[in-house]
Every structure is written in C-alpha cells, then in structure tokens.
Structure 1
Amino acid sequence: MTDPALLLVVLTFVLIAVTPRIFFRRDGELNLRWWSLAAPVGVAPGLLVGAELAELAPHVPQDWLTGTRLAAVVLAAAAIALVSLTLGTHRIPIALWHQSDDAPRHLVTWGAYRRVRHPFYSSYLLAFLAAVAVFPHLVTLALLTYMAVQLNAVAAKEERKLAASEFGAEYTAYTHHTGRFLPRPGSRSAETEPTTADRDTTT
C-alpha cells in the first residue's frame, strides 16, 4: 500500500473495528442486527485495498484525485479524533448496539456528547466519507449511503428509548440544543453535565 491517504483511511476502519474489543461491554449478543452495522466496517478497508491492488479507476476525473485524497486525510483524522474523544468521555464501558436490554443507566452530556448526541456514529460516518473521498466510486458511495440510513434508524430508536426512560425530561431538553450526528447551528452546548447515556448501546 503506497498511498498514505489510503493507509490512514484503512487504519481508521481498523480502529473502529477494534473498539468493541477494547471498550464496549462484552455481555451483549452479536446478533444479525449487530452484524448489519459491523460488516460494512470490515468490508470497506478490504474493498479499498483490493481496488488499489486491482488498479480500479475511480469515478471522478483524474485531476480531482489530489483534492479528494486531501479530503480523505482530513475526514479520517477527524474520525480518529472523534473516536478517541468519545472513548475518553465515557467513565464506564457501554454495551454494543442492537441489544434488547439496553436500558439507560445515566446520561452523558459532556465531552464528545456536548454538541452531538451520537459521536460514535458520527465518527463512523466520517470514516465512510473518507472512504468515498480516497476512492470515489459507486461502491464506496453505496456503503456510505447504507451506513447513513442504518445509523440514522438505530439512533432514532435509541432516542425514543431514552425519551421514554426515567431520564426522559432531561434527555428531551438535551436534544433541543444538540444535533443527532452534527452540531446544531447556533445552538449552545449543555450547561449541566450529563447525556447520551452510558446505556447498553453505542452512539
């Protein structure tokens, strides 16, 4: 692998792939719904390396590639930074996503959660954006679209569960000044500490 941008993007996916081992609680179940989100994280780096080895042509003009590779470096670095910040925000490990017993334990609104409700998911989307940037192709775009739809559905389900929990009022207030995956323009960060729950799912 001779492309430094490609190497950085691949390492970003490696970091995301190992976080269940190094951080999340291990009492969850690797069910079909869990694999529906995990599988693309493993597929993406293999696809990128395979595309380079096979010398597949990206679906953009050649003179765009310098700019797209620069964008890939920025996006991958942002994803790594956000994963690291989110890991450092949590005081206790949280369970894997798509678990049936993921009742909220407490809310977390500081650190990575200060302006976005699902920073883990945001970092995953940044990684897939980096994959599109480093290899602009219909296949990488399809992976990004799939993950965006899946993560949005999972996040919405988690938010409904939190809103219906004992922390519902506090969580609802928190959602008024935070975005799901991106900071809400013009909003102020939470003044009180805690929010998106150290619950039995990732965000």
Structure 2
Amino acid sequence: MTTDTSDYGLWSLVIINSLFFILFAASFFKPQSRRDWRTLGLFSAFVVALFTEMYGFPLTIYLLSGWLTEKFPGINWLSHDAGHLPEMLLGWKVNPHFGPFHILSNVFILGGFWLLSKAWPVLYNAQRSGELASTGPYGRIRHPQYAAFILVMFGFLMQWPTIITVLLFPILVVTYLRLAHQEEKSALAEFGERYRQYMEHVPAWWPRGKGHQRSA
C-alpha cells in the first residue's frame, strides 16, 4: 500500500464543502423551531463526517487497508479516486466520477435539494396563514422535507461510503421518522379531522400515481 497521502489532509476543502452543503440546505430549509434545527444539525453531522473522510483523513480506507490491498492489489488506496469504493470494488475501469454509482448518486442529491426547494415555500406560506400545507410536494407526500434530506444523504452514501456514514445513515433515518411522527401529532392537535383526512389521502413518504393525488 502506497504511503502517498497527498490526496488527503485537505482540511480547507473539508470546511468549504461542508459549509457549502450545510448552508445550501439551510437556505431552502430555513430552520425556525427546535425540531427544524435538530433536523439540520443531524444532516450537518452526516455531511461533516462525509467530507472529513473524502478530503481530510480516510479512516475507512485505513481500517480496511489490509483487506483491500490483499483482495485488490495494484490500487493506490490512498488516492482520492479509490475512495469511490463501489466502482473500485466492482473493478470498473473508468474514472469513478463518471461511474454509474457516482452518476446515480448525483441524481439522488440533486433530486433531494430540488424537493427541499419546492417544499419550503409551500410550508412557509401555510405557516404564515395558519393553514395546512397540502399543495405542491405536500400534495404528493406528507413529509417532503425529511424525505429530501434522506435522498441527499443516500446519494452521498452511494458516492462515497464510509464506515461512519454507513452507521449514521440508518440512525438519522429513524430519527427523521420519529420527528415526522412528532410533527403529525402536533398537526393532529392543531387541525384535527382535516389532518386525518389529509393523512388518508396523501401517503407519508412514497407518492402515488397522479391519478391518486388529492389535497386535503
């Protein structure tokens, strides 16, 4: 295993990329309540852990270095490209940035941010008027903002899986599910029967076909 670590130790990139994606998410999410800040904080922890291994210190590569060098000799596992583990482990002889996992991951990441950008104005206007958010993305699923964060994290996980982010991801998903459940209890207390009807007509996480779309 080569000792060339020039592709890592780039802590300025860790900071720049982490701040970019956290602030980018915050610009669409615009946290206000403690629950909102907790949602963004969990996403931020995932992003910092991701970029720390992507540019700072490749903990996963070091921990798996013995197995990797034995099973896949001839690869410089301390190079940046080698961090794209799915493409490397499957032996695709392409630049990993153009590999199928990287391309698909970008679809999830961009889709998640798009969903977040579309959901926030609907929720904001509904909160200002004291109404139930049930149009736009909220007319297709009940928790588009949480779903957006999950999509973005899943996309990053496909692109650059690490031991820490693989462990964090299910924990964060479960936490978002619980936060969504807490929000629904609050909405039921505030809107009562109207929200119950909304729950009957609009699925929580996975949209139905357009023919089934109904707003509360």
TM-score (normalised: structure 2): 0.65
Q: 2:168 aligns with which of 126, 133, 143?
A: 143
SS in 1 for 2:125: coil
1:41 aligns with 2:65: no
Identity over aligned pairs, percent:
19
Give the 3 Å change call, closer, same or farther, for CA 128–121 of structure 1 in structure 2: same
**After superposition, where does 1:30-179 map in structure 2 within 5 Å?**
30=34, 36-53=38-55, 54-55=57-58, 56=61, 57=83, 60=86, 61-63=89-91, 66-92=99-125, 94=127, 105-165=130-190, 167-179=191-203
Match of 2:3 in 1: none
CA distance in 2, matches of 1:137, 1:164: 41
Q: Which moved more, 1:73-82 or 1:176-185?
A: 176-185
Unaligned runs of 5+ in 2: 1-6, 8-15, 62-82
CA distance in 2, matches of 1:191, 1:50: 42
**Cα distance per residue 1:72-100 (max 9 Å; x no partner):** 100011011101111232453859xxxxx
**Cα distance per residue 1:138-191 (max 9 Å; x no partner):** 3212222111111111111211222233x2211111111222222146871125
Kept in 2, the 8 Å contact 1:132–1:141? The answer is yes
Q: What letter is aligned with 1:17? A: A
CA distance in 1, matches of 2:132, 2:37: 26
Give the 3 Å change call, closer, same or farther, for CA 178–34 of structure 1 in structure 2: closer
**Cα distance per residue 1:107-143 (max 9 Å; x no partner):** 1211110111111111111111012111123321222
CA distance in 1, matches of 2:104, 2:172: 19
Unaligned runs of 5+ in 1: 2-6, 96-103, 193-203
TM-score (normalised: structure 1): 0.68
Give the 3 Å change call, closer, same or farther, for CA 124–91 of structure 1 in structure 2: closer
Q: Which runs of 4+ in 1 moved over 3 A?
A: 7-14, 17-20, 33-38, 54-60, 62-65, 90-95, 184-187
Q: Which moved more, 1:140-149 or 1:77-86?
A: 140-149
Kept in 2, the 8 Å contact 1:9–1:72? The answer is no
Give the 3 Å change call, closer, same or farther, for CA 78–12 of structure 1 in structure 2: farther
Give the 3 Å change call, closer, same or farther, for CA 45–135 of structure 1 in structure 2: same
More helix by share: 2
Higher relative contact order (CA 8 A, sep 6+): 1
Q: 2:206 aligns with which of 162, 178, 182?
A: 182
CA distance in 1, matches of 2:19, 2:154: 12
Give the 3 Å change call, closer, same or farther, for CA 88–186 of structure 1 in structure 2: closer
Structure showing greater radius of gyration is: 2
Match of 1:14 in 2: 23
CA distance in 2, matches of 1:11, 1:134: 18
Q: CA deviation at 1:62?
A: 4.8
SS in 2 for 1:155: helix
SS in 1 for 2:201: coil
